[in-house]
Amino acid sequence: MVENNRWVKFSSHLILLLGIAAVVFPIYIMVIATTHTGPALQRPPFPLLPGDQFFENMKLVLGEGLSTAGAPPVALMMFNSMVMALGITIGKIAISLLSAYAIVYFRFPFRMFFFWLIFITLMLPVEVRILPTYGVASSLNLLNSYVGLTLPLIASATATFLFRQFFLTIPDELLEAARMDGASPMRFFWDVVLPLSRTNIAALFVILFIYGWNQYLWPLLVTTDERYYTIVMGIQRMLNVSDTVPVWNAIMTTAMLGMIPPVIVVLLMQRLFVKGLVETEK
């Protein structure tokens, strides 16, 4: 029962506004910080109105980078992050689609055994198995490479499981109709299963892209060469400077740039994303 009372309306809006403020304020601070010089940010009070240093800051982080902090130009880090995030996302989706398809539609020995094997890895996120994974990556000579950044994170139990559950909801008659129509297994996958999974793929794309973009621990371990630094670890390195003050204007500008790609992905995919999470199109 919802009461249509002025006070209820007022207080619920107040709570909502406070919640929004709590989320938005730090972002506002960050945006403001990108428009001031470093010293201006060090000196209290912290400015709450935009300054005029935006383009200078941009030029600094995009082009030159902070050599004092051992961080390459942001453009390169953005590129690295993009390669890693897209590599992980596309890799994960491709692998899980295929493995889920195999598990659902083919009868082969130890089918359930493999399913449970994949399922069990849900309990082992990257952080738990990070040292052995590092060991494997290093003996395969994958350190300091894009392959090393993406490949070990690609196997995904979550996505496999999700696609399996979705495939199970596709009526058997569709498969049978396709068999009568003469479609080969891969043809059925390509012509029927894949188009039907469209919304699920979009939803996973968003989730996995953000997951990949925000990877921190793994890139930190696997890269020592500046050329392969990602933006998330770059920000951290800028903060961890010894014997000098952190260059806040550059850090904040980098952070803001680092936020943009996930936002773009969410905006572009939000319609499909919501659809994929809410309904299964039949």
Partner 1 sequence: MAELRLDNVIKEFGEVRVIHGVDLKVQDGEFVVVVGPSGCGKSTLLRMVAGLEEVSGGEIHIDERMVNRVEPKDRDIAIVFQNYALYPHMSVRQNMAYGLKIRKFPKQEIEQRVNDAADLLQLGEYLDRRPNQLSGGQRQRVAMGRAIVREPSIFLFDEPLSNLDAKLRVQMRVEIRQLQRRLGTTSLYVTHDQVEAMTMADRLVVMNAGVAEQIGTPLEIYERPASIFVAGFIGSPSMNFVEGRIAADRQSVVIGQDFSIPLPQVTDAIQADQPVTVGLRPEDLHLTQESPDEASLPLTVDLVEVLGADTLLHGQVPHLDTLIIARLSGVPQVKNGEVVHLAFRPRRLHLFDRDSGKSLYYGQNAA
Residues in touch with partner 1 (CB under 8 A): 171, 173-174, 176-183, 187, 191-192, 195-196, 198, 281-282
Q: Cβ 187 to partner 1, closest distance in Å?
A: 7
Other beta carbons less than 10 A from residue 262's beta carbon: 18
Q: How far apart are CA 14 and CA 91, in angstroms?
A: 44
Q: How far apart are CA 254 and CA 235, in angstroms?
A: 7
User: 181 vs 225, which CB is nearer to partner 1?
Assistant: 181
Nearest to 208 by CA among 153, 272, 267: 153
User: 14 vs 174, which CB is nearer to partner 1?
Assistant: 174
From residue 2, give the alpha-carbon distance in Å to each of 6, 8, 12. Answer: 12, 9, 12
User: 40 vs 196, which CB is nearer to partner 1?
Assistant: 196
Q: Cβ 184 to partner 1, closest distance in Å?
A: 8
DSSP element (H, E) containing 111: helix 111-120
Q: Classify residue 66 by its DSSP letter.
A: B
Q: Cβ 261 to partner 1, closest distance in Å?
A: 30
User: 109 vs 182, which CB is nearer to partner 1?
Assistant: 182
Q: Cβ 267 to partner 1, closest distance in Å?
A: 25
User: 9 vs 111, which CB is nearer to partner 1?
Assistant: 111
Nearest to 258 by CA among 232, 229, 226, 220: 232
Q: Cβ 88 to partner 1, closest distance in Å?
A: 27
